[in-house]
Amino acid sequence: MKRSTFISFVAPSVMSMLILIALPLVAIVYLALYQSYTQMEIKEVKTEVPLFGGMTREVIRNVPQPVMDDAGNPIQVWEYVGTQNLKNAIDTEGLSSAFNADQNINSTRSFIRALFDEIRDVDFWSALEFTLIYTFLTTPIIIILGFGLALATNRLTERLRGPVVFVTLLPMIVTPVVSSLAVYWLFVDGGVIAASLEAMGIGKFYFLADQFTIRAVIVAYGVWYAAPFAFIILYAGLQTVPEEPIEAAIVDGASPWQRVRYIVIPHLTPLFSVIALIHIMDSYRVFEPILVFGSRVFANSVQYLTYYTLVFEDNIHKASAYAILTVLGVVVLLIPIMIRTFKDQKAGK
């Protein structure tokens, strides 16, 4: 292939990556390393205060006002602060206070539990806790559930496979916000599930008023929404499993489970890695159910913390620091999978 032809094919992709990925990352890093503020000055402001009888009195007050440039716009100052915004984001002072708190507990186990409770009171670490819980719970569940659905669907007749695949993929068709709302309305007080349990005489449940139940509902939502992705990838992978080893295993008397364990699973191992990689990147950025459920007190996430800091605190620099921490968290979680994938590919050569 000619160099000019190669460049003409590659250049659009490279430019898109630079514009859509590289530049935003550079901007976020810049915003996290710098602090901006409007330059202010103290000016004397004279006002006339009315008194009785039509008399007035002149009042002089020192009022802070922005410094204007030649065009009449406030002067914005950008100051390099290094890692200060990152420290503010992870709240190093709050973390230090948690470790230095006087617990007055003799038992080591009780001390660790009390220390953990103190750390959970810090916004970032509380958000990180549920983010990791959500990621580590949903990832293996969707892989196992998706694999089971793929095996079951693969055993169906040709006539039934199409409708089953369509129904299974329905959660992926709906946008995350809408699907989060659907699940929220099911479990909200007076919703279908809560009302059904009460009508059955089981009792009145407030799913969204307790930490355990609201976290369980969000995790269940994550599994319901992401399992179809794992299912369709693994179902497609099952169509590529060679027939010869399966037939040989049947002749040798291998059970269905043995055929799955020693032939199917090794063949699909690269797909398991791909699903894990993509889902970890997605689940670590869990945002929609946290926003829709209004669960910040019981179940927060690093991505939602970024949104909250930007929208409600109007602090773009601290929000950028949270965004950097999100990217770093995803990278750290992906490193073991990438290393394992690299070793498997190297061994297969």
Residues 151, 271 within the same domain:
yes
Residues 252, 325 within the same domain:
yes
User: Does the residue 284 lie in any domain?
Assistant: yes
User: Does the residue 51 lie in any domain?
Assistant: no
CA pseudo-torsion sign 333, 338, 343, 347: positive
pLDDT at 117: 74
Q: What is the reported pTM? A: 0.84
Residues with Cβ within 8 Å of residue 125, at least 6 apart in sequence: 90, 91, 95, 119
**Mean pLDDT in residue range 233-262:** 90
User: Does the residue 47 lie in any domain?
Assistant: no
- With 90 as the cut, is the pLDDT of residue 143 above it? yes
Residues with Cβ within 8 Å of residue 156, at least 6 apart in sequence: 164
Burial class (CB in 10 A: 0-12, 13-18, 19+), 199: exposed
Distance CA 118, CA 125 (A): 10
Residues 315, 246 within the same domain:
yes
pLDDT at 106: 61
**Mean pLDDT in residue range 115-119:** 75
Residues 132, 254 within the same domain:
yes
Residues 196, 320 within the same domain:
yes
Burial class (CB in 10 A: 0-12, 13-18, 19+), 284: buried
Distance CA 341, CA 334 (A): 11
User: Does the residue 223 lie in any domain?
Assistant: yes
- 8 pLDDT tier (thresholds 50, 70, 90): confident
pLDDT at 274: 92
Task: Indicate which CATH number applies to the domain containing 304.
Answer: 1.10.3720.10
- With 80 as the cut, is the pLDDT of residue 339 above it? yes
Instruction: For residue 64, give its domain range.
Output: 3-40+59-80
pLDDT digits (tens, 9 = 90+) for 277-288: 999 999 999 999
Q: How many domains does one find in the chain?
A: 3
User: Does the residue 152 lie in any domain?
Assistant: yes
User: Does the residue 45 lie in any domain?
Assistant: no
Residues 202, 267 within the same domain:
yes
Return the minimum-mean-pLDDT range out of 86-90, 124-128, 206-210, 244-248: 206-210
Longest CA pairwise span in the chain (Å): 113
Residues 75, 204 within the same domain:
no
Distance CA 188, CA 213 (A): 12
Residues 177, 305 within the same domain:
yes
- 39 pLDDT tier (thresholds 50, 70, 90): confident
User: Does the residue 52 lie in any domain?
Assistant: no
pLDDT digits (tens, 9 = 90+) for 180-204: 988 888 888 878 888 888 888 887 7
> Across all residues in the chain, what is the average pLDDT?
86
Residues 97, 148 within the same domain:
no
Residues 278, 147 within the same domain:
yes
pLDDT at 216: 92
Residues 34, 132 within the same domain:
no
Task: Give, as one character, the DSSP assignment of residue 68.
Answer: B
Is 281 within 8 Å of 294 (Cβ atoms)? no
User: Does the residue 178 lie in any domain?
Assistant: yes
| Percentage of the chain lying above the pLDDT 90 cut | 35
- With 60 as the cut, is the pLDDT of residue 349 above it? no
More confident residue, 208 or 87: 87
Residues 134, 96 within the same domain:
no
